[in-house]
Amino acid sequence: KQEVTQIPAALSVPEGENLVLNCSFTDSAIYNLQWFRQDPGKGLTSLLLIQSSQREQTSGRLNASLDKSSGRSTLYIAASQPGDSATYLCAVTDFNKFYFGSGTKLNVKP
Amino acid sequence: EAQVTQNPRYLITVTGKKLTVTCSQNMNHEYMSWYRQDPGLGLRQIYYSMNVEATDKGDVPEGYKVSRKEKRNFPLILESPSPNQTSLYFCASFSSRTGDYGYTFGSGTRLTVV
């Protein structure tokens, strides 16, 4: 069974810092990997989706990379802002099912 | 606006009283799924549906039922709710036709069973 792990579980950084969130998965047979943001008590907002044939995707200050062979993905956030404070989840899909990590709770201090 | 709509957003009920949480999407997505989210356990899949009249169990289906009579709707039914079903529930959908299999989530339903 696919297992998705996110490290670290929590992260606190000062505003302006560049940071990296990590996601690893045990089975490389995936269709895609998706990064989400979740604010407390709210739904999940899709940030970036990387197809299995792609290596990275970028949106504004966010850049996500995918290395299928090693079962790893990273989410890079440039010039972090207090508004980036949220929980970030990664999910992989093998088409029939989606598997989520437990998330990284990010706090960006002003 | 393309979206997944869940109702209600908040619900408090008593043990054993049947309830239904509705989910509707306006994107003509084939695939729909229900998740529950609990502290320390993350998101766990309850049921999913590949298309109309095609449903299958996820990781934690016990105590839940679903139906998919129309493409846009995928209600979650709790026939006899128990306190251990107190949780935050999410409905999600995606389409294989777009080629990206990206998920769209509803805003969530916070259920409390007393």
Q: What is the tens place of the pLDDT at every residue in B12-52? A: 999 999 999 999 999 999 999 999 999 888 899 999 999 99
| pLDDT at site B69 | 97
For A84-98, the pLDDT digits (tens) are 999 999 999 886 678
| β-pairing verdict for A98-100 and A104-109 | unpaired
Give the per-residue pLDDT at B39.
86
Contacts of A51 in chain B (CB under 8 A): 99-100
Extended beta strands in chain B, E state: 4-7, 10-13, 19-25, 31-38, 42-51, 54-57, 65-66, 76-78, 87-94, 104-105, 109-113
Average pLDDT, whole number, for chain B?
92
Nearest CB among A31, A97, A103 relative to B48 is that of A97
CA B86 to chain centre: 14
Comparing B66 with A49, the larger pLDDT belongs to B66
Asked if B36 contacts B87 with a C-beta cutoff of 8 angstroms, the reply is yes
Residue A82: φ, ψ to 5°: -55, -30
Q: Which residues between 45 and 64 in chain B have a beta carbon less than 8 angstroms from any beta carbon of chain A? A: 45, 48, 50, 56, 58
C-alpha closest to that of B48 among B83, B2, B93 = B93
Shortest CA gap A42–chain B (Å) = 6
The stretches of B1-114 forming alpha helices (DSSP H) are none
pLDDT attached to residue B101: 58
Chain B: closest CA distance from residue A96 (Å): 8
For residue B62, the distance in angstroms to the closest alpha carbon of chain A comes to 18
